[in-house]
Structure 1
Amino acid sequence: MERFSHLHLDGQQKETITYQNQMIHYGLYQPRPEAYFFSDIPWHWHDEFEFGYLSVGSMRYKTNNQECILHEGDGIFINSGSLHYLQPLEPKKDIRLQSQFFDKSFLAGSSGSLFDIKYIAPVKEQRQLEMVPLYGSNPEHKEFLDKMQEAANLGTERKDFFELRLQRIFSELWETVYSWAMSTKKDRDSFNSLEDEKIKQLLLFIQAHFTEKITVGMIAGAIPISERECYRLFQNKLDITPSEYITSLRMQRAQELLMHSDKGVLEIALETGFGSSSYFGKLFKQHHHITPKQYQKLSGIIS
């Protein structure tokens, strides 16, 4: 069972999932809430399919085209390649999120196998199936959630034959996931995969340049599209402006430096593109209700 305190993202906002055993591509994650949920979890994606379960607290999930709020006892399915964002709705100490990840090889074996072509690829290719919230109050969802927890218990205890039993449970769950994918085909016309690709390209450009002085015109020119179209894509897909996304990236990087380095506040402000320690301090306190130095003390960097 893996425990972690922050996402491992590459330059394309892709999360790297760590498997406990490289011969079985399944990962059970139990985040440390005191570190992980200090703030929103930024927009990111991963190749793996994700099954999440919220045992304590409330969180908001967003994808390019969907939004939902989960409470204690609820869960979620996130499709492979789906860009998503998480926002804790309660203090970090009151959040407990468990996630199970696996890639197609876990259920289908080798790429291009009959199982991959017939059952796994059709789900992954349904780009409009970004996520499916699962509510504990719904009897059908409750049955699905109970099986998810059965799998998590197997992954935690890791007794003899747990790998076979895990695969059996997720194969059963996959029949339902596959039915979700097939039911979304009728909504294909309402889904714009081209816009999804555009927003990913814009995020990639910002990720590469967020520490610099960049304008909306520079961001839009990376594709290229008009500034107006750039604003529209961000508002429609992410419900934020380009500037707000830049600030969130800078804040995320600043938090990492405050937590894991002994650099001063001014040095961090300059390195992350905020320009001055006073401006950085003002925004940081607005976001987190404490100063950068107080955060360093909480992280144990300074005494």
Structure 2
Amino acid sequence: MDTYKITTDDTLRETLPHGTARYPFAYYPENIWQFDFHRIDWHWHHEFEFLIAAESKICCLAGTDKIDLPKGCGIFINSGVLHRYEAYESACAPNIVFSASLLADETSLLYEKYIAPVISSSVPYQIFDPQMPWQDDILRLLQEIFALQESKAPRSELRTVRLLLHIWDILSGHLQPAARQTALSRPDHRQARLQTMMQYIHDHYEEEITLDMIAASASLSKSGALHIFQSGIHISPVAYLIRYRLSRAAGLLYTTQKAVSVIASETGFTSAGYFCRKFREYYHMSPGEYRQKKSST
């Protein structure tokens, strides 16, 4: 079975373009189980995303929340929200990702009244449960959109946009009260600080880094940094640093012929032995076995 991996930049923004400038919409009939380690790892994008757990339960981490999404339920991920999906078994999860500009121009009244309030509301996500009538309506409309993409029907772009506008009419109507409420509250800067610390790790992972240094990059105490990492992505800053170093090392294993000891040194590990132990803990195989597996696929 082929495996897939999401690609991001140093801020964890997904680098894959979703559609084109002329039609900024993309449909992905994905199975999360087929991704590396059965997860679509942390990423964000400016576009909106809608996903349905079509085959089995999916674990979704969005903003600072962890959600078990039962089979048949769906989720909306707002623009700019850091998120991740994990599968417990084969998990078909058809999803669409599209730009707000597909619905309305940013200078238009439609954008001002119905789209901008949702983006600026700080609502990170919305779950769709088929037991709730208005949410079931959205799930049925999403299924129509998925079917359109798979059938490649004539005028599918026009029909897709019509269905998206119908979804947005329902969604924005139910999210507007929450949007007005959150607009009056103090802004939450946790995600920005989390991304600042992640960026620091990405820039300095080859060097010796301490928790104090990670926290200082976002003007936080050590306890503040620990809290933001745990509430945001559910691991400690040091654990994230090790995982990031391992991911960089994994890339070097199958894109270069460098010795394992050299890769360990270049990715910030103090010794090849420690690197190999951590690599096996995370990837459940040795660096050499990982290199051989990736080379064969």
TM interval, shorter chain, is: 0.7 to 0.9
Give the 3 Å change call, closer, same or farther, for CA 21–234 of structure 1 in structure 2: closer
Give the 3 Å change call, closer, same or farther, for CA 80–6 of structure 1 in structure 2: same
Give the 3 Å change call, closer, same or farther, for CA 257–144 of structure 1 in structure 2: farther
Supply the distance in 2 between the matched residues of 1:76 and 1:264 (Cα, whole angstroms). Answer: 44
Contact 1:56/1:71, CA 8 A, preserved across alignment: no
Contact 1:4/1:32, CA 8 A, preserved across alignment: no
Give the 3 Å change call, closer, same or farther, for CA 224–293 of structure 1 in structure 2: same
1:53 aligns with 2:52: yes
| Paired position in structure 2 for 1:178 | 172
Contact 1:37/1:95, CA 8 A, preserved across alignment: no
| Paired position in structure 2 for 1:240 | 235
Matches within 5 A, 1:14-53: 14-31=13-30, 33=32, 36-53=35-52
Supply the distance in 1 between the matched residues of 2:55 and 2:249 (Cα, whole angstroms). Answer: 28
Supply the distance in 1 between the matched residues of 2:82 and 2:42 (Cα, whole angstroms). Answer: 6
Give the 3 Å change call, closer, same or farther, for CA 118–59 of structure 1 in structure 2: same
| Paired position in structure 1 for 2:288 | 293
Identity %: 28
| Paired position in structure 1 for 2:249 | 254
Equivalences, count: 295
Name the SS of the counterpart of 1:30 in structure 2: strand
Matches within 5 A, 1:1-303: 5-31=4-30, 33=32, 36-90=35-89, 94-108=90-104, 110-127=105-122, 129-136=123-130, 138=132, 140-184=134-178, 185-186=180-181, 192-299=187-294, 301=295
- Could you tell me which amino acid in structure 2 is paired with residue 121 of structure 1? A
Give the 3 Å change call, closer, same or farther, for CA 40–254 of structure 1 in structure 2: farther
Contact 2:73/2:130, CA 8 A, preserved across alignment: yes
Give the 3 Å change call, closer, same or farther, for CA 140–231 of structure 1 in structure 2: same
- Could you tell me which amino acid in structure 2 is paired with residue 149 of structure 1? Q
Name the SS of the counterpart of 1:169 in structure 2: helix
Q: Deviations over 1:109-160 (max 9, x none)?
A: x322112111111111011x10122234555433322211211222233322
- Could you tell me which amino acid in structure 2 is paired with residue 135 of structure 1? D
Supply the distance in 2 between the matched residues of 1:51 and 1:105 (Cα, whole angstroms). Answer: 16
- Could you tell me which amino acid in structure 1 is paired with residue 9 of structure 2? D
For structure 2, the 5+ residue unaligned runs are none
TM-score (normalizing by structure 2): 0.87
For structure 1, the 5+ residue unaligned runs are none
Supply the distance in 2 between the matched residues of 1:171 and 1:224 (Cα, whole angstroms). Answer: 42
Deviation for aligned residue 1:167: 0.3
Contact 1:63/1:85, CA 8 A, preserved across alignment: yes
Give the 3 Å change call, closer, same or farther, for CA 32–195 of structure 1 in structure 2: closer
Deviation for aligned residue 1:281: 2.5
Contact 1:58/1:72, CA 8 A, preserved across alignment: yes
Name the SS of the counterpart of 1:99 in structure 2: strand
Give the 3 Å change call, closer, same or farther, for CA 182–4 of structure 1 in structure 2: farther
Name the SS of the counterpart of 1:56 in structure 2: coil
| Superposed CA RMSD | 2.7
